[in-house]
Amino acid sequence: MVRTGEGEVLPRCAECGGYAYGGAPGCAVCRDLVDGIVEGEWAAFLPRWDTTAGGDQERTLAEMVVAEPDRHDWRLVDAALDRLRCPDCGERLTRGPAGCPPCDRAHGYRYAAIETDRPGVPPGNEHAIRVNVSVVRRPQVSSDSEVLVRRLLLPLLLAGYLPTTEEAQRISALVKKSPPGRRAQLVEQTVRQLAEDFSRRRRAARAAGSSPTSPDTPAATPRRSGPGRPR
């Protein structure tokens, strides 16, 4: 199955003007794109169980997936959680306010789900995608700075990028030392430069006939990060 973002060249969002996906959760268009990362997988999953969207059958299927996260892809698990309600706060499970016990527990268990890297991407790319998607879709439990970095990096991750340790440290240092009023602008500039460098390396690699990201990456790498260990 072709994953969302695979093969794309960082298209722009017509609504917010940034890289597509990167404007979420503030930009409605980007927010729908991010939701589509998990919803597309769920839509393909339902026919395999002869189930249609809506109603008790879909809820029962969602409960089954959430009860056995280690047997399913993380996108299916996240989509299933969206179809269940928290008994305490009433929000979609895991999407409630910070400190809601059932939401926090379900959020921890979701990280037992399977993560499979796409062919040609660095090992760990899929894990980075799922963490960033999780933060962007439940921003109320993260700091503004973390949401900013996670959302801006998401389009690059979907295109097959994974920051090096040096790049991650540079972004972290920038966030810490930037004045709050200029933080978003400076981080956006840094991510834009990373995107340009990545696109240039990818074009050069394709011209040379090698993988644009990591030529020695296996065709598929299933991984699990373990319950309660998102990073």
C-alpha 98: how far from chain center: 20
In this predicted model, which residue has the larger pLDDT, 203 or 184? 184
Quick one: pLDDT at residue 8? 47
Output the pLDDT for position 225: 58
208 pLDDT band, cuts 50/70/90, is: confident
Q: What is the pLDDT of residues 26-73, one digit of tens each?
A: 999 999 999 999 999 999 999 999 998 998 999 999 999 999 999 999
Check pLDDT > 80 for residue 21.
yes
Pick from 120, 117, 118, 91: which is nearest to 104 by CA? 91
Residue with tokens 């963490």: 131
- Measured CA distances, 117 to 32, 34, 97 (Å): 23, 18, 31
Beta bridge partners, 92, equal 85
Q: Give the contacts of 124 (CB within 8 A, at least 6 positions apart).
A: 117, 162, 223
Average pLDDT over all residues of the chain: 89
**What are the tens digits of pLDDT across the range 156-196?**
999 999 999 999 999 999 999 999 999 999 999 999 999 99
pLDDT at 213 (0 to 100): 55
Q: What is the pLDDT of residues 111-158, one digit of tens each?
A: 999 999 999 899 999 999 999 999 999 999 999 999 999 999 999 999
Q: Whole-prediction pTM value?
A: 0.87
The percentage of the chain sitting over the pLDDT mark of 70, rounded to a whole number, equals 87
User: Which pLDDT score, from 0 to 100, does residue 71 have?
Assistant: 97
Instruction: Fill in the amino acid letter for 212.
Output: P
Q: How far is CA 81 from CA 1, 28, 85, 89, 94, in A?
A: 22, 21, 8, 14, 7
